[in-house]
Structure 1
Amino acid sequence: MPGKGPTLKLVTRAQLGWPASAAPAQATTRGVKVHYEGTPVSTRLLTDHAACIAEWKAIRASHLANKTENYSDVAYNYAACPHGYLLEGRGIGKRTGANGNQDLNRAHYAIVGLVGSSGLVTPTDAMLGAIRDGIDLLRQHGAGPEIKGHRDGYATTCPGASLYAWVQKGAPRPGTTTPPTEDDVSLTAAQAKQLAELHDVLVPYAGWQYKGKDEETDAYAYLRGTNASVKAVDAKVSALKPVDLTDAQIAALAEKVAAAPGLADAIAEKVAQKIADRLAE
Structure 2
Amino acid sequence: MKLVSRSQWGARAYRTPNGATPYSRPRRGVKFHYLGTAYSDRSHDKCDDYVRQIQAQHMDGNGWSDIGYSFVVCTHGYVYEGRGLKRRNSANGNTSLNEQDYAVLLMVGSTGLTKPTDAQLHGARDALEYCRTQGPAGMWIGGHRDGYATACPGDAVYAWVKAGAPRPAASPTPPKTTTPEENDVAFTKDDLETLAGTDGVFKAPKDAADYSADPKSPKHYWAFGSHVNDNTTRIRRIDKTTAALTAQVAALAAAVAALARDGGLPLAQVQAAAEAGAKAALEQLGDTLTKES
Normalising by structure 2, we get a TM-score of 0.54
Residues 28 and 93, structure 1, Cα contact 8 Å, conserved in 2: no
Deviations 1:66-109 (A, max 9, x none): 3xx43111000001111110011111111110000111111111
Distance in 1 between residues matched to 2:167 and 2:116, nearest whole Å? 13
Instruction: Tell me which structure has the larger Cα radius of gyration.
Output: 2
Distance in 2 between residues matched to 1:78 and 1:102, nearest whole Å? 18
- Flag the structure with more relative contact order, 1 or 2, with Cα contacts below 8 A and sequence separation at least 6: 1
Residues 93 and 142, structure 1, Cα contact 8 Å, conserved in 2: no
- Residue 154 in 1 paired to residue 148 in 2? yes
**What is the match of residue 212 of structure 2?**
none
1:90-109 alignment to 2 at 5 Å? 90-109=83-102
- Residue 126 in 1 paired to residue 123 in 2? no
| Corresponding pairs, count | 164
Deviations 1:14-63 (A, max 9, x none): 112225653411152100000000000123x2xx0122221111000000
- Residue 60 in 1 paired to residue 55 in 2? yes
SS of the equivalent of 2:111 reads: coil
1:73-84 alignment to 2 at 5 Å? 73-84=66-77
Distance in 1 between residues matched to 2:123 and 2:80, nearest whole Å? 9
Query: CA distance change for structure 1 residues 64 and 30 in 2, over 3 Å: closer, same or farther?
Result: same
Query: CA distance change for structure 1 residues 23 and 35 in 2, over 3 Å: closer, same or farther?
Result: farther
**What is the match of residue 104 of structure 2?**
111
Residues 23 and 73, structure 1, Cα contact 8 Å, conserved in 2: no
SS of the equivalent of 2:57 reads: helix
Give the alignment partner of residue 86 of structure 1, picking from 67, 79, 86: 79
Distance in 2 between residues matched to 1:23 and 1:150, nearest whole Å? 23
**What is the match of residue 51 of structure 1?**
46
Distance in 2 between residues matched to 1:111 and 1:20, nearest whole Å? 20
Give the alignment partner of residue 142 of structure 1, picking from 131, 136, 145: 136
Distance in 2 between residues matched to 1:10 and 1:125, nearest whole Å? 17
Residues 82 and 127, structure 1, Cα contact 8 Å, conserved in 2: yes
SS of the equivalent of 1:65 reads: helix
Gaps of 5+ in 2: 171-293
- Residue 163 in 1 paired to residue 157 in 2? yes
Give the fraction of aligned pairs with identical amino acids, expressed as a percent: 48
Give the alignment partner of residue 34 of structure 2, picking from 31, 36, 39: 36
